[in-house]
């Protein structure tokens, strides 16, 4: 098995299925007698993608195997609850590897890192475990390949995002970052016939399509990446939101402010016809005024959000006049990614299981799923 082993699917626009929903994470949720006529449309797929699940599992298994502390460069995934939960278990999150004691163990986040970060970790004799999502690694490899072939590379993504910083670092002399369609006119290239585009994996599909169209108007011979860089999970969650958005008065997206894909879901909901849309980290951030006059609430979550946070929002809404929950599924995801090779080997040497996917984590205040 290699690090990018998958089983599963790509984004789909198949006819949605509708089913009643009870929060499995907390049996009490959805089973109480709540009053009101309101309804919740719960988008599916939502929440953890395969790359996030793998990254969180890497930290959990490293803690089980080596004990605390296990250092993690940046947030392992962009979710406040997950980071706080792992911190309670003994993970220590740092901004740069220079903050880590020499010879210690470090996990690189799901968003990926540049070769410079790997070099700095090696110089400090850190034992590293790379939890970069395999779909991000694919984009890194594309950047390296096109740079070796001396193309000008346009990286469509958000300046300052950790994933973009890592990809840019693979070939800084060849890459320019473009964040919006309006930035396309500022690009200068050496040879308009040798330009290729790649992208951050968590972007809005529609905005990326618009940016690429602008790029192609400027550079008619623009070369596409070998395969779609926006990951299947990002696309699936956006399709699910587009499906329910025209039917809802309010859309709630559970996800952290620094989660690119969560922020994009708010934008997608508004563009697809939701009356209004709000992003929250946890149910406690919901405001009752948002739901005055509403009869249907849409609910989804970003790809780094554990299901327990969605269930807490369901419970909050049910207690305030939205007792019925209907899940609207547009795709069933079965993709899994193998754990990093070196972690698998260490687990095997200690007689510990590395089964993928792991058994479902028990929901609780210190758990991440």
Determine the Cα–Cα distance for residues 142 and 287; give it in Å rounded to an integer.
44
Q: Assess contact for 45 and 333: CB atoms under 8 A.
A: yes
Q: In the chain, what is the greatest distance between 2 CA atoms, to the nearest angstrom?
A: 67
Q: What share of the chain is helix, strand, coil (3-state, %, to 5)?
A: 35, 15, 45
Beta bridge partners of 44: 329
- Strand (E) positions, 68-167? 70-73, 91-94, 105-108, 127-130, 152-156
Q: Any catalytic annotation for residue 96?
A: no
**Helix orientation angle between 50-66 and 80-89, rounded to the nearest 10 degrees:** 10
Q: Give the Cα separation of 350 and 345 in Å (integer).
A: 9
Which listed residue (25, 75, 162, 163) is catalytic?
163
d(CA 49, CA 44): 12
Q: What size, in residues, is the chain?
A: 369
For residue 329, give the H/E element and its range.
strand 324-329
Cα 20 from Cα 244, distance rounded (Å) = 15
Reduced to 3 states, what is the DSSP secondary structure of residue 240?
A: helix
Residues contacting residue 355 through CB under 8 Å, at least 6 positions apart:
none
Give the separation between CA 343 and CA 180, rounded to whole angstroms.
Answer: 38
Q: Which residues are catalytic?
A: 163
């Amino acid at each position: 098995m290699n690090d990018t082993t998958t089983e599963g699917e790509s984004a789909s626009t198949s006819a949605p299925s509708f089913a009643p929903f009870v929060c499995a994470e907390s049996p009490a949720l959805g089973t109480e007698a709540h009053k009101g006529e309101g309804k919740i449309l719960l988008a599916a797929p939502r929440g953890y993608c395969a790359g996030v699940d793998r990254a969180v599992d890497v930290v959990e298994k490293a803690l089980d195997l080596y004990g605390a502390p296990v250092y993690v460069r940046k947030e392992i995934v962009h979710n406040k609850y997950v980071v706080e939960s792992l911190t309670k278990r003994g993970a220590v999150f740092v901004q740069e590897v220079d903050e880590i004691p020499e010879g210690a163990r470090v996990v690189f986040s799901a968003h990926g890192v540049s070769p410079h970060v790997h070099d700095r970790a090696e110089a400090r004799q850190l034992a590293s475990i790379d939890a970069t999502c395999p779909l991000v690694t694919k984009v890194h490899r594309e950047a390296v390949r096109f740079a070796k072939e001396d193309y000008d590379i346009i990286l469509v993504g958000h300046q300052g995002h950790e994933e973009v910083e890592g990809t840019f670092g693979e070939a800084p002399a060849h890459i320019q970052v473009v964040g919006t369609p309006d930035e396309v006119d500022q690009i200068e290239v050496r040879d308009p016939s040798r330009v290729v585009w790649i992208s951050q994996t968590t972007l809005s599909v529609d905005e990326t399509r618009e940016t690429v169209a602008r790029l192609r108007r400027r550079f008619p011979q623009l070369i596409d990446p070998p395969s779609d860089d926006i990951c299947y999970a990002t696309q699936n969650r956006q399709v699910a939101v587009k499906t329910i958005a025209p039917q809802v008065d309010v859309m709630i997206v559970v996800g952290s402010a620094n989660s690119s894909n969560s922020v994009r879901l708010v934008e997608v909901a508004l563009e697809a016809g939701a009356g209004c849309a709000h992003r929250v980290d946890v149910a406690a951030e919901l405001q009752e005024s948002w739901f005055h006059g509403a009869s249907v609430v849409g609910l989804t979550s970003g790809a780094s959000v554990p299901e327990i946070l969605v269930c807490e929002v369901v419970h909050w809404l049910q207690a305030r006049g939205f007792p019925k929950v209907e899940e609207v599924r547009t795709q069933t995801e079965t993709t899994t990614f193998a754990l990093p090779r070196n972690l698998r080997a260490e687990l095997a040497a200690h007689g510990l299981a590395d089964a993928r996917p792991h058994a479902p984590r028990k929901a609780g205040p210190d758990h991440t799923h």
